Amino acid sequence: MRRMDWTVTLGLMALFAAIGLVCGWRGAHPPNLARGPRLIPYRFLMLLAAVGVMAMAAHALSLAGIVTRGNQTRY
């Protein structure tokens, strides 16, 4: 299997950031009651995109050789 390299990681991070920005922009608009309720949960999708950006950032740090597993002290 091929590993996920820098190009894929940074590309996915940019994609998640763009999706988050668009969903944040669309979610900030007031709802138009004449057209009915919104059928797409833009704020929730923005949060999912932010989680994707954080996951890709952690993967980029691991590709750089930085351990992101927290405090793992052994006694």
Question: Looking at residue 2, what is its pLDDT?
Answer: 67
Domain range holding 56? 6-30+39-63
Residue 17 lies in a domain: yes
Per-position DSSP letters for the chain, written without gaps between them: -----HHHHHHHHHHHHHHHHHHHHHHHSPP-TTT---SS-HHHHHHHHHHHHHHHHHHHHHHTT---S------
Please name which of 46, 54, 67 lies closest in space to residue 12, comparing C-alpha atoms. Answer: 54
The answer to the question of residue 68 being in a domain is: no
Position 45 in a domain: yes
- Spell out the per-residue pLDDT of the chain, length 75, in tens: 568 889 999 999 999 999 999 999 999 999 888 988 888 999 999 999 999 999 999 999 988 888 767 666 555
Q: What radius of gyration do the chain's Cα atoms show?
A: 17
In a domain, 72, yes or no: no
Instruction: Output the pLDDT for position 52.
Output: 97
45, 19 in Cβ contact below 8 A?
A: yes
What's the pTM?
0.81
Does 24 map to a domain?
Answer: yes
Domain total of the chain: 1
